[in-house]
Every structure is written in structure tokens, then in C-alpha cells.
Chains A and B, each alone.
Chain A
Amino acid sequence: MPLITLEHIGFKYEEKWVLRNISFEVNKGEFIGIIGPNGSGKTTLLKVIDGVLIPQEGDVQINGISCNKLKREHLAKMIAVVPQESMMIFPFTVQEIVLMGRAPHLGKWRFEGETDFRIACQAMEMTDTLSLRNRSMNALSGGERQRVLIARALAQQPQIMLLDEPTAFLDIKHEIDFFDMIQLLNKNQDLTVMAVTHDINLASLYCDRIILLREGNIHCMGSPDEVINESHIKEVYETNVAVDKNPATGKPRVTPLSSHPSEGGSRLKSGAAPQL
């Protein structure tokens, strides 16, 4: 049985349909990438899967059970989310934030125990945040804060990890470290991963399967080789790209091209000011 099943999902804010007739299945242990232009419904799709948004049409099933029949805390034990960004109005410490990941595993009354502290510590070690544990979240850089949120998701010990542009604020080292770590969990512990990303090359590098969204519909879905080619990218993103094989990894590689390459180049060379 597939771990996640979406059947004919339709979702609208107010009157505007953001997702239309979305159906797919995700098996346990898969690494799925969701790509698409701004406003194509990527984030909304993740929110529908984790039950934050209830679709007006269709049904989301986790392990064959309809999502809206599951209790929130039950869902939280299975699905962890790393959000795009997070605002902190009151200063929690890093350790407090990571321990919050244990909340779904504790009853309403129980305080965190030895096990929870150990799991939180491991999660902080993996994300390289252990040394920050007594710092206030507000005193961290954007990248550090993002790593703390990743640690919190790890502390949740989920079966499914949903990532909404998790590395948007990270430098290239931490970005690769992060995806390597997720890949390791994905391979060793059968963690199912669904990642929304703007970085097509990153998706190509790490994902088993890629879903390409266009205006709320699935434009195409399949392995990186099947999805990432010049015609698909040009159609969906309406921009000029070159796609070739990355010699180092053998995965498809996208290189964006300027729409007016000759014009732009000559202007720069001659040093003339752009005409208004």
C-alpha cells in the first residue's frame, strides 16, 4: 500500500482554484521533489498533505486512512514539516524549540524526559546546532535558525518529512550538508521525503521522482531524466534554458539562458548606459 495517496485533490482560496485534480501516490522511502514556478501551488500542495489545509475536492490518505479522520497529534507523529521561514516574537532558546518537536509524542501533561532530551541532542548534533542550544532563536542568523527548525523536525522522528524550500537561507555548504543528511535518513531509515524547491538542479541531484507543477496541475511526473528536459522547463517556466547531462553526476542539469544574450552582452562590452 502506498504511504501517501492523493485522489483528485482540488483546493481553492476564496474563489481561485490553486490546485486542480491532483492525483499521485508516494511509496515509503521515496524522495520526491516538487518543482514549478511561483504560484504554481507547491506550498499549498504540501499544506494539503500535512492537513493544515483541507481540500474542497478529493481525499488525502496516509497509510490508507483519510487524513481528516486522523487526529492532529497522530498526524504530527508521522509527518514533520520544515517551513520556509519562522518568525519568533518571544525568545525561545534553541533547545526549547528543538524539544517542541517532541510534543506530539508526549501527552498533554508530560514534561520532556531523558529520552526526549537525548533525541533532541542527537537532532542538534546532526544539524550542527548543539553548540547554539542555549542561545535565543532571535540571536541567530537566518541559516542557523533554519538548521534549528530542521533539528526540530528530526526530533519529531517522523516517517514523512515535508520540506518547503528548507535551504532557502542556507549557504552552499549547509545546503549540501542538509540534503546529504536527508538523503542518508532517506536511505538508511526509509524516511519518506517530499521537498519543494526552486533549485531544479538540486532536485535533479537528490530526488527519485520529480513532480512538475503548472498552474495547480501536474504538468508531468517521473524520474529526473523524464521530467527535466528543455521542452518541459520552457513550457512551464516560460523561459529559455539549456539542459544537458552533468558530467560529474550523470543527472540532467539546467542552465538558464538570457532571453537577449547578444544584446545584453554587447551593451556591457561597449560600456554604454542603457537607454531609457
Chain B
Amino acid sequence: MRKYFFLPFFTLTALTLSASHRSEQDNVVTMKRVLQVTITLFAVFVFVSAISLLVGPGGISMLPLLKLLFTGWSEATFSLPSTEKTILFSIRLPRIIFAGIVGACLSMAGVVFQGLLRNPLADPYILGISGGSAVGAIIAIITGISLLPLGIPGIAFSGALLTIILVFGIAGTKKEIHSTTLLLAGVIVNAFFSAAILFLISIASERNLHSAMFWLMGDLSLAEWSDIALTGLFLIIGFITMYIYSRDLNLIVTGEETAMQLGVNVELTKKVLLIAASIVTGVAVSVSGIIGFVGLIIPHMMRMLSGSDHRLLLPSSALFGGSFLIVADTIARTITAPAELPVGVITALCGAPYFIYLLRRKTA
């Protein structure tokens, strides 16, 4: 029974969300509303994390865990057996935090790419960053080389950075970056890297093939505290940068010329936001592989629930994206336990139906 625990808490999350947003749909975005929504979603985030901590294989009985949640941390931790402590705090907790960070990174980047490129189909991978990163990671897996001490993520991130430089080099002139050209450059670079990935996979050995495939579909099981710290740092810096430009992004969404006429330094804003979103994506992909769907769909979900204003959209997408990926990862590691599924499979399987539901509700 334990592995179906996710069902109630996923529904619960969805319900809390719809409830907390719908009632405020008429209002425009104010500081107060941003705080309200952020706090609500942060509570959901903590709640989801706490439940996720309790779910999973490993034979930990629920009772002491619930006690732990309710009686306070320090006292109860001492009474836990050491194996359970290891499972909770060295295996599950880092993974949960990691999933939260990666989900937040991808959703934020998705919001920014969709807004800047004014394209509802844009996602964090649209500029080919995932492809470059994947080529790096697969080379690292196949050859067994690793840039110490960063390992596969280190090489994957170098791939991501090179791709960013390449794509911007193709699309940008000295003065300005054209969104359409950028989009096309991304598509082309992605296509090229796809071919490279297929080539690398076809020459890989059986054993390497499995880890390469897992990486390509997104894998959060390799979470280590050092990765978490690094990714978390990028998340925070990225978020602050994007938030500073969030109102300018609102104006850019209504048209670059309009944004200029309303006083925005469009080229600067675009550059800063594109670079911030690209780097955040690069970091997330390097440590977790290609987790699809999150960065595409979370921004749309939040837009439907709370409107298009990026001052609200950015924090709400980050928090909800984090929560969503935690749920997805909890399902990925429990549903076929002791085996694991790649989390990307779950994000698509859960995300698509919920998204369709939102679309239907909107049109009805």
C-alpha cells in the first residue's frame, strides 16, 4: 500500500493550489499578493517534501517518523535506529532537496524562455543546452574520464556552456539578438547534438548504454550534498537576477518595441535574462540529466492559475516546479521499487493529463 501514498498527496497539492489562486483571479499583482502566493506555495513545498520523506522502500515504519515530524527534530532523531537515520538523511533528504532545486531551476528558466522568445512552445532546452550537455555527459560516461572533482556534471556543464556560446554566437550581432534567429539557431544546434548523441550511443557498450539512457531521461538518484550546494547557489543567484528584470519581462512579452517605448532597455534585459536562464538550465541539466516537460508545462500551469505577470509567475513557478518534481521523483523511486524509473517518464505521464485538465477547464 505504501507505494500508492503519492496519490492523495498529489491531488491534495493540486487542490490547494487551484483553491488558493482562483479566488484571487480578479486582482492585479501587488506586493501583498506576491507574498501571499509565495507563502502558500512554500507551505505546499514543505508539505510535499515532508511526505516524500516518509514514502519509499527501505522498511521504515511510519510511526516514529510521524513522531519525528510532530515532536520536533532533535529529540526524535536520537531515538531513531542508525540505518533509518542514514536512509532518511543521507539518501532521501538530499534527493528531495535536489529534486526541489532542479524543478525550480527548470521552471524558472522555462518562464523566462517562453517570455523572452514570446513562444508558448519554448522550454529550457529550446536553445540546445540540453543537447550540448548530454553530449558532454555521454562522452564522460563512455570514456570514463571525469574532470576531477566535478565528474560527469563537470563535463556536462562544459558542454552546456559551449553550446550557449555557440548559439549566441550564431544568433547575435554586436548590437542585438533577434529572437527568431536565436530560436532557429537553437533548433539547429539541438538537431546536430541529437545526431551526435545517437552516434555516441550506437558505439557505447551495454553497461554504459544503460547509464547513458538513464541520464538522457533524467535521473536524480546521484544527488550529493556538494551538487546540491552548487545547484542551490546558482538557483538563488539566477532567481534574484530574473526577479530584478521580471517587470521588464512583462513589457517585453507584449512586444519588444512596446517595451522600448515604455522605457525598457530591451537589449540589455534580453541579454541578462537569456544568459541567466541558460546558465541555470545548464547547471540543472548537468547534475540531473534531461528531465523533460517540467520547464514547458509548469509555467503554463501557473499562468493559467495566477496570470501572466512575471513578478508573480516567476516565484510561483519556481516553488510549484520544485514541488512537482519532488512528487514526480517520489513516484519514480517507489512505484517499481526496488527498481527505479527515470523521473522524466513520470513528469510527462503526470504532467500531460493535469495540463489537459487545466486546458479544458479554461475553455469551459
Residues of A within 8 A of B (CB): 47, 50-52, 72-77, 79-81, 83, 86-93, 95-97, 99-101, 103-104, 108, 111-112, 117, 134, 156
Contact with A along B9-40 (1 / 0, CB 8 A): 00000000000000001101111000000000
A164 CB to nearest chain B CB (Å): 11
19 further A-B pairs in the complex, CB-CB below 8 A; given A96-B28, A103-B264, A111-B29? A47-B257, A72-B265, A74-B263, A76-B263, A77-B263, A80-B261, A83-B255, A89-B119, A92-B254, A92-B307, A93-B307, A96-B308, A97-B254, A100-B251, A104-B263, A108-B247, A108-B248, A111-B311, A156-B262
Interface residue from B25, B257, B260, B308 paired with A92 (Cβ < 8 Å): B308
Enumerate 5 A-B pairs (CB-CB under 8 Å) in ascending A order: A80-B261, A86-B254, A96-B28, A101-B262, A134-B26
Distance in angstroms between the alpha carbons of A86 and B260 in the assembled complex = 14
- B120 at the binding interface (Cβ < 8 Å): yes
Q: Is the CB of B309 within 8 A of A72?
A: no
Distance in angstroms between the alpha carbons of A88 and B260 in the assembled complex = 16
A109 CB to nearest chain B CB (Å): 8
B240 CB to nearest chain A CB (Å): 12
CB nearest to B304 among chain A residues: A91
Q: Is the CB of A90 within 8 A of B303?
A: yes
Q: Is the CB of B28 within 8 A of A92?
A: no
Residues of chain B in range 90-121 having any CB-CB distance to chain A below 8 Å: 114-115, 118-120
- B258 at the binding interface (Cβ < 8 Å): yes
Residues of chain A within 8 A of B251, CB atoms compared: 100, 103
Distance in angstroms between the alpha carbons of A112 and B30 in the assembled complex = 7
Q: Is the CB of A103 within 8 A of B263?
A: yes
Question: Chain A CB within 10 Å — which of B261, B308, B311 has the most?
Answer: B261
Interface size class of B (residues with CB under 8 A): 20 to 34
Residues of chain B within 8 A of A74, CB atoms compared: 263
Distance in angstroms between the alpha carbons of A240 and B228 in the assembled complex = 75
B23 CB to nearest chain A CB (Å): 14
Distance in angstroms between the alpha carbons of A86 and B262 in the assembled complex = 14
Q: Is the CB of B28 within 8 A of A93?
A: yes
Q: Is the CB of A83 within 8 A of B263?
A: no
- B222 at the binding interface (Cβ < 8 Å): no
Q: Is the CB of B258 within 8 A of A92?
A: no
Q: Is the CB of B254 within 8 A of A72?
A: no
B74 CB to nearest chain A CB (Å): 39
Distance in angstroms between the alpha carbons of A47 and B257 in the assembled complex = 9
Residues of chain A within 8 A of B120, CB atoms compared: 89-90
Interface residue from A81, A90, A99 paired with B308 (Cβ < 8 Å): A90
Residues of chain B within 8 A of A50, CB atoms compared: 261
A76 CB to nearest chain B CB (Å): 3
Q: Is the CB of B254 within 8 A of A88?
A: yes
- B237 at the binding interface (Cβ < 8 Å): no
Interface residue from A72, A81, A103, A134 paired with B247 (Cβ < 8 Å): A103
CB nearest to B245 among chain A residues: A108
Contact with A along B257-277 (1 / 0, CB 8 A): 110111111000000000000
CB nearest to A50 among chain B residues: B261
Residues of B within 8 A of A (CB): 25-26, 28-31, 114-115, 118-120, 244, 247-248, 250-251, 253-255, 257-258, 260-265, 303, 307-309, 311
Question: Given that A50-B261, A77-B263 are known contacts, is A95 also in contact with B247, CB under 8 Å in the complex?
Answer: no
Residues of chain A within 8 A of B254, CB atoms compared: 86, 88, 92, 97, 100
Interface residue from B30, B250, B261 paired with A81 (Cβ < 8 Å): B261
Top 9 nearest A-B pairs (CB, nearest first) are: A76-B263, A73-B263, A104-B263, A90-B308, A81-B261, A111-B31, A89-B118, A92-B308, A103-B262
Residues of chain B within 8 A of A95, CB atoms compared: 28
Question: Given that A92-B308, A96-B307 are known contacts, is A104 also in contact with B262, CB under 8 Å in the complex?
Answer: yes
CB nearest to B114 among chain A residues: A90
Residues of chain B within 8 A of A81, CB atoms compared: 258, 261
Residues of chain B within 8 A of A134, CB atoms compared: 25-26
Distance in angstroms between the alpha carbons of A81 and B265 in the assembled complex = 16
Q: Is the CB of A83 within 8 A of B257?
A: yes
Q: Is the CB of B308 within 8 A of A72?
A: no
Distance in angstroms between the alpha carbons of A89 and B117 in the assembled complex = 10
Residues of chain B within 8 A of A108, CB atoms compared: 244, 247-248
CB nearest to B261 among chain A residues: A81
B124 CB to nearest chain A CB (Å): 17
B117 CB to nearest chain A CB (Å): 10
Distance in angstroms between the alpha carbons of A10 and B247 in the assembled complex = 34
Q: Is the CB of A52 within 8 A of B257?
A: yes
Interface residue from A76, A89, A90, A93 paired with B261 (Cβ < 8 Å): A76
Residues of chain B within 8 A of A111, CB atoms compared: 29-31, 311
Residues of chain B within 8 A of A80, CB atoms compared: 261
Residues of chain A within 8 A of B114, CB atoms compared: 90
Q: Is the CB of A87 within 8 A of B264?
A: no
Distance in angstroms between the alpha carbons of A213 and B250 in the assembled complex = 35
Q: Is the CB of A92 within 8 A of B309?
A: yes
Q: Is the CB of B255 within 8 A of A86?
A: yes
Distance in angstroms between the alpha carbons of A81 and B261 in the assembled complex = 7
A138 CB to nearest chain B CB (Å): 10
CB nearest to A92 among chain B residues: B308
Question: Given that A93-B307, A103-B251, A108-B247 are known contacts, is A83 also in contact with B26, CB under 8 Å in the complex?
Answer: no
Distance in angstroms between the alpha carbons of A73 and B265 in the assembled complex = 8
Residues of chain B within 8 A of A79, CB atoms compared: 261
A116 CB to nearest chain B CB (Å): 10
Distance in angstroms between the alpha carbons of A80 and B260 in the assembled complex = 11
